Amino acid sequence: MNKHYFKKVGWLGTVVILVVLAFFTYFNRSYAHIYNHIDKSALTTPDRTLSYLITNNQMASSSLTYVALGDSLTSGVGVDNYNESYPYLLAQYFSGNDKQVTLKDRAVQGAKTKDVLVGLLPAAIRDNPDIVTILIGVNDVHGGISRDDFQKNYDSILQQLTVETKADIYVISIPFIGADNLILPPYNYTFDLKTKRFNNVIKELAIKYKIKYIDLYTQTEELFKTNGSHYAADFFHPSAQGYKIWADLIYADINY
């Protein structure tokens, strides 16, 4: 071993350390970028009430109660008016020409499956719904919730709804969410992989409970990979246009 060998190893070690530090710095900053931008956008839940009565005909011949369970994507974060949210649009579609629809908004910004199970589900059951849609899981994906815990929570939600209500239940897949200028590599791949795994769980549970699974992910993945007018200012929550796209696709899979 000569001095030149040790000198070469020393330089090589320094290069390796610098490369590792660069990677760690990138990973840290690209992760922080997501939440810094979302926080800076300061989107809020639009003003809303827990119940809406929607009808296109004051002499409607029938009525139904629709409960929307979920998180910020269901509570309408990203739009100024709740009537631009996908649950409200769905309720309008359900009303058609001769139905009176009572929409119950059971959604909380930041909610995970556990929050739905413990905090939102009891009230949803008391609503005695005819229709229930569930869109939950984005915060489980980003919040580090394990697949097993996600499955356990979601299973409990469906078990209670199927036993304690007579509602037609529609589970909506976790959508592809987050534009490519917000969620950078490798997190776009990481979150996407986990989303797909969780969607497989939802699909399997839908089969188990014999309820409808609506694959919103596949139908909107390509569009929502890139930024555009379908996104709100945070590049994460949909805009009014984005929610309209969702509502149309969801309604096309619902038999009402």
Tens digits of per-residue pLDDT, 47-67?
988 899 998 877 777 899 999
Task: Provide the pLDDT confidence category of residue 31 given band limits of 50, 70 and 90.
Answer: confident
Domain assignment of residue 215, given as a range: 43-252
Is 36 a member of any domain?
no
Averaged confidence pLDDT in the chain: 91
87-101 pLDDT, tens digit per residue, is 999 999 999 878 999
Position 237 scores a pLDDT of: 97
The mean per-residue pLDDT over the stretch 181-185 comes to 91
Is 24 a member of any domain?
no
113-147 pLDDT, tens digit per residue, is 999 999 999 999 999 999 999 999 999 999 999 99
**Mind spelling out the 3-state secondary structure of the chain?**
CCHHHHHHHHHHHHHHHHHHHHHHHHHHHHHHHHHHHHHHHCCCCCCCCCEEEEECCCCCCEEEEEEEEECHHHHCCCCCCHHHCHHHHHHHHHHCCCEEEEEEEEECCCCCHHHHHHHHHHHHHHCCCCEEEEECCHHHHHCCCCHHHHHHHHHHHHHHHHHHCCCEEEEECCCCCCCCCCCCCCHHHHHHHHHHHHHHHHHHHHHHHCCEEECHHHHHHHHHCCCCCCECCCCCCECHHHHHHHHHHHHHCCCC
- Number of independent structural domains in the chain: 1
pTM beyond cutoff 0.75: yes
Task: Provide the pLDDT confidence category of residue 17 given band limits of 50, 70 and 90.
Answer: low
Is 58 a member of any domain?
yes
Is 20 a member of any domain?
no
Is 233 a member of any domain?
yes
Position 58 scores a pLDDT of: 74
Is 5 a member of any domain?
no
Is 8 a member of any domain?
no
Task: Provide the pLDDT confidence category of residue 82 given band limits of 50, 70 and 90.
Answer: very high
The mean per-residue pLDDT over the stretch 176-180 comes to 96
**Which CATH number belongs to the domain containing residue 158 in this structure?**
3.40.50.1110
Is 209 a member of any domain?
yes
